[in-house]
Amino acid sequence: MTTPDGQDELEAQYAQWRHYVQRRRELQRSDAEELEDHLRGSVDELVAVGLRADEAFLVAVKRMGSLDDLSREFAREHSERLWKQLVLTGETDSAVADTRSRRDLLAMVICAAGAAASIKVPELFGMGFGEDAGGFYATNFSLFSLPWLAAFLTWRRRARPALIGVLVALFALGVVAANVYQLAADSQSVVLTALHLPIALWFVVGLAYVADDLRSSRRRMDFIRFTGEWFVYFVLIALGGGVLIAFMFGTFEAIGISPDVFISHWLLPCGFVASVVVAGWLVEAKQGVVENIAPVLTRLFTPLFTAVLLAFLVAFGWTGAGIDVEREALILFNLLLVVVLGLLLYSISARDPLARPGLFDKLQFALVVSALAIDVLVLLEITGRITEYGTTPNKAAALGENIILLANLAGSAWLLLGFIRKHMPFAALERWQTGYLPVYAAWAWVVVLVFPPLFSYL
């Protein structure tokens, strides 16, 4: 009964059993090993009293009781395992994952340190903070952080040399856009470049993120998820950094040392660019470990935003007063569209594409349509203004963005309606959103590269 054949079969059964056990979150690898030893002991004993190997295995497994019961008992002792922990280094269950996460950590530290060091390099050439280099740092800030994040992702994805070449070229283009035009520090174009270059470069990071499959809609959706989670982590790190700075300031003041210069010239800029990389690494490391938070926030705020927008529309119709469209108002409504788009995107990102349309989809439809209605009112007002007074870079940029967002939301509303009425699959909406990403990137590059000469460096 211990022929090699029977033994092989038995080993295969053990392997299968181990596989089942390891799928339980409550049971770790060491537990599985301990239980397997138990099972083997039990099988050996049954074989010794005369059972065939496969019979012995069946009996031994049966005797151990159902895995459900077993894991419930384990969960009572190890309740912490039900909270998914983000293990940063070591102590993961398998050795392979262990070395991988350690190497990731090392690469991240190198990239973050590189980012922190690079932002201090211009100082060597007389571009210190606080002097009249404000314009330089405003436009170049993203160039000290995002290339490092892209480098980390490229390293992690083992990107092809051709793609690396493209990334380098695009970042070089970013350097050109930020520095070639001689813009006055107080010009509108400086502000526009400072706002749009990070967006353009973020999509370059996206290129590094989807490295292996540029056209895949799924990978692009992953990048959208990555962006949302990155943002959440970045904000959390920034909050922690704020607390650190507050304590540093308070404690050093108390002993008569003013850490002003250190904080504003070193800690803030270096911490900022480094945390861009750290946040990216965190998202990569925790993928699948922790529940994504952006979709949860979406669920919470979609009904609230819908209510506010509908209330606004009602109030607008009731009072009959016009919208006061100053520049700030246009930016405000742009941001509103961005938020609505974000709410839409992150609920798409978390949705099961095969699920049937439900109440939440209808709610979302209401949100998108009310945002559209408001925006059309604003647009009518603003185009009137522009034809009357002529345009500036700011107005043109804001208007262009408004139109891009409007087109996206109009398309989304159409597809969402089709989905709710069961004409179209949900995937159509997903493809529409992921297919739209290059439009944002292209617009950001246009603002950065074409606007300054177009508006004679105003």
CB of residue 167 to another protein, shortest distance in Å: 45
CB of residue 69 to another protein, shortest distance in Å: 5
Q: State both tokens at 386.
A: 């522009």
CB of residue 58 to another protein, shortest distance in Å: 9
Residue 385 dihedral angles phi and psi, to the nearest 5°: -60, -45
Nearer to another protein, 34 or 326 (CB): 34
CB of residue 34 to another protein, shortest distance in Å: 5
Residue 325 dihedral angles phi and psi, to the nearest 5°: -95, 90
Q: How many CB atoms lie within 10 A of CB 322?
A: 9
State the residues that interact with another protein by CB under 8 A.
30-31, 33-35, 37-38, 40-42, 45, 49, 59, 62-65, 69-70, 72-74, 76-78
Residue 451 dihedral angles phi and psi, to the nearest 5°: -60, -45
**Chain centre to alpha carbon of residue 208:** 14
CB of residue 78 to another protein, shortest distance in Å: 7
Q: State both tokens at 420.
A: 């709710």
Q: Which residue type sits at 32? A: A
CB of residue 71 to another protein, shortest distance in Å: 8
The length of the chain in residues reads 458
**Chain centre to alpha carbon of residue 104:** 18
Sequence-ordered list of residues with C-beta below 8 angstroms from that of 120, at least 6 positions apart, any chain: 266, 269, 270
Nearer to another protein, 38 or 100 (CB): 38
Nearer to another protein, 37 or 131 (CB): 37
Nearer to another protein, 63 or 327 (CB): 63
CB of residue 57 to another protein, shortest distance in Å: 13
Nearer to another protein, 41 or 435 (CB): 41
Nearer to another protein, 54 or 381 (CB): 54
Q: Quick one: CA dihedral 366, 429, 401, 170, positive or negative?
A: positive
> Are the beta carbons of 98 and 90 closer than 8 angstroms?
yes
User: Which three-class secondary structure state does DSSP give residue 371?
Assistant: helix
DSSP symbols for 188-213: HHHHHHHHHHHHHHHHHHHHHHSTT-
CB of residue 96 to another protein, shortest distance in Å: 17
Nearer to another protein, 49 or 124 (CB): 49
CB of residue 17 to another protein, shortest distance in Å: 13
Nearer to another protein, 41 or 438 (CB): 41
CB of residue 38 to another protein, shortest distance in Å: 5
Nearer to another protein, 63 or 218 (CB): 63
User: Which three-class secondary structure state does DSSP give residue 158?
Assistant: coil
CB of residue 289 to another protein, shortest distance in Å: 23
DSSP symbols for 52-86: -HHHHHHHHHHHH--HHHHHHHHHHH-GGGGS---
Q: Which residue has the tokens 């239980």?
A: 35
Nearer to another protein, 64 or 164 (CB): 64
Nearer to another protein, 18 or 431 (CB): 18
DSSP symbols for 80-140: GGGS-----SS--SSHHHHHHHHHHHHHHHHHHHHHHHHTTHHHHTT--SSSTTHHHHHHH
Q: Quick one: CA dihedral 241, 245, 246, 248, positive or negative?
A: positive
